[in-house]
């Protein structure tokens, strides 16, 4: 296996162990609000430190961008690890078992490695550019879904910045008309991994950060899917909007989303 991917897996599993050990003592954790409907706990911080320590020991010359710790390491490093130590913190704090560790590696600005680890189900999704995507070491592919009829979609509601709620609800209404169903489970990293694994046919969300989606985007690309921003371009890391689906479903979803894109959505920066 790719050595950098091996180290990332080790880091993800170590963080997952911290998260699982804390599941029975959530009521004792120090929980701090970061913003509207956005929280961070001791577990987020501990898991991120464990990930960075593991990666830094192996690659001291690499840079790091963590959801909780910000940017660390050498400036202008060719390799930058983008880390969400606990994607789905609100789920975790409520005992809702849908959350994950997400680790992506950018090489010269391009996502090159990705790991999404669900410590509850012990499911490990991995991808390396040009080498395919796997779930627990077995190759995964997106589905062959060709249209909206019968499609199962995932999404995320813009709960932090509700100024885009009307636009989002318009998208939801149009995408719901012919779909088999739409799921909102609360962890974008896992939603994207599920598209790669064929559990969802498509996914869209507004207001993500690079650490929410970097690993998941590579998983989908390596599993044969299409990932763009909401307009069909490549600005998902800049705008925070992401649309992922099978090759034939993607343009159909994009067409249904397009009428609801305001100028502010097209050019908005990703949320804090």
CATH value at residue 19: 3.30.540.10
Pick the closest to residue 271 from 190, 216, 206 (CA basis): 206
pLDDT for residue 263: 65
Q: How buried is 84 (Cβ within 10 angstroms: 0-12 exposed, 13-18 middle, 19+ buried)?
A: buried
pLDDT for residue 262: 82
Domain residue limits at 51 = 3-139
Q: Residue 172 pLDDT > 90, yes or no?
A: yes
Q: Residue 269 pLDDT > 70, yes or no?
A: no
Judge if 45 and 78 occupy the same domain: yes
Judge if 82 and 200 occupy the same domain: no
Cβ atoms of residues 31 and 93 within 8 Å: yes
Judge if 129 and 165 occupy the same domain: no
Examine the fold and report which residue of 109, 139, 169 is the final residue of a domain before the chain moves on.
139
Per the prediction, the chain carries an average pLDDT of: 91
Cα 189 from Cα 244, distance rounded (Å): 12
Please report, in range form, the residues annotated as the binding site: 67, 84, 86-87, 212
Please report, in range form, the residues annotated as the binding site for Mg(2+): 67, 84, 86-87, 212
Average pLDDT over residues 58-84: 89
pLDDT for residue 37: 45
Judge if 25 and 88 occupy the same domain: yes
pTM: 0.93
Average pLDDT over residues 162-167: 87
Q: Residue 151 pLDDT > 80, yes or no?
A: yes
Judge if 224 and 261 occupy the same domain: yes
Q: Residue 271 pLDDT > 50, yes or no?
A: no
Judge if 24 and 118 occupy the same domain: yes
User: Between 70 and 123, whose confidence is greater?
Assistant: 123
Q: How many folded domains does the chain comprise? A: 2
Judge if 50 and 23 occupy the same domain: yes
Q: How far is CA 41 from CA 10, 121, 169, in A?
A: 22, 21, 30
Domain assignment present for residue 222? The answer is yes
Q: SS3 for 3?
A: helix
Average pLDDT over residues 250-266: 89
Lowest average pLDDT, out of 49-53, 92-96, 140-144, 188-192, goes to 92-96
Domain assignment present for residue 145? The answer is no
Pick the closest to residue 158 from 47, 49, 262, 259 (CA basis): 262
- The per-type count for the chain, helices as H runs and strands as E runs, is 9, 15
Domain assignment present for residue 144? The answer is no
Judge if 116 and 172 occupy the same domain: no
Q: How many CB atoms lie within 10 A of CB 15?
A: 30
- Model confidence band, residue 210 (pLDDT cutoffs 50, 70, 90): very high
Domain assignment present for residue 158? The answer is yes
Examine the fold and report which residue of 106, 139, 172 is the final residue of a domain before the chain moves on.
139
Strand order in the sheet with 123-128: 70-72, 63-66, 79-87, 100-107, 110-118, 123-128, 133-135, 138-139
Query: What proportion of the chain, given as a percentage, has pLDDT over 70?
Result: 92
DSSP state of 193: H
């Amino acid at each position: 296996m790719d050595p950098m991917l091996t180290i990332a897996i080790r880091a993800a599993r170590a963080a997952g162990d911290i998260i699982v050990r804390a599941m029975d003592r959530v009521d004792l954790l120090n929980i701090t609000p970061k913003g509207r409907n956005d929280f961070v706990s001791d577990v987020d911080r501990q898991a991120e430190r464990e990930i960075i320590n593991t990666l830094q020991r192996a690659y001291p010359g690499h840079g790091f961008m963590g959801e909780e710790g910000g940017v660390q390491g050498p400036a202008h490093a060719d390799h930058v690890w983008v880390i969400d130590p606990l994607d789905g913190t609100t789920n975790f704090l409520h005992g809702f078992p849908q959350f994950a560790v997400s680790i992506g590696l950018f090489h010269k600005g391009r996502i090159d490695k990705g790991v999404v680890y669900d410590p509850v189900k012990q499911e490990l999704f991995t991808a390396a550019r040009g080498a395919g995507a796997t779930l627990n070491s077995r190759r995964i592919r997106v589905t062959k879904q060709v249209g909206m009829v019968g499609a199962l979609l995932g999404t995320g509601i813009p709960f932090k910045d509700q100024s885009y709620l009307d636009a989002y609800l318009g998208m939801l209404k149009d995408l719901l008309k012919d779909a088999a169903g739409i799921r909102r489970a609360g962890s974008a990293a896992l939603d994207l991994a599920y598209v790669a694994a064929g559990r969802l046919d498509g996914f869209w969300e507004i207001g993500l950060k690079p650490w929410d989606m970097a690993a998941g985007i590579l998983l989908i690309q390596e599993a044969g899917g299409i990932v763009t921003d909401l307009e069909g371009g490549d600005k998902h890391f800049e705008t925070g909007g992401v649309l992922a689906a099978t090759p034939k479903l993607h343009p159909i979803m994009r067409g249904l989303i397009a009428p609801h894109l305001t100028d502010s959505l097209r050019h908005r920066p990703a949320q804090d």
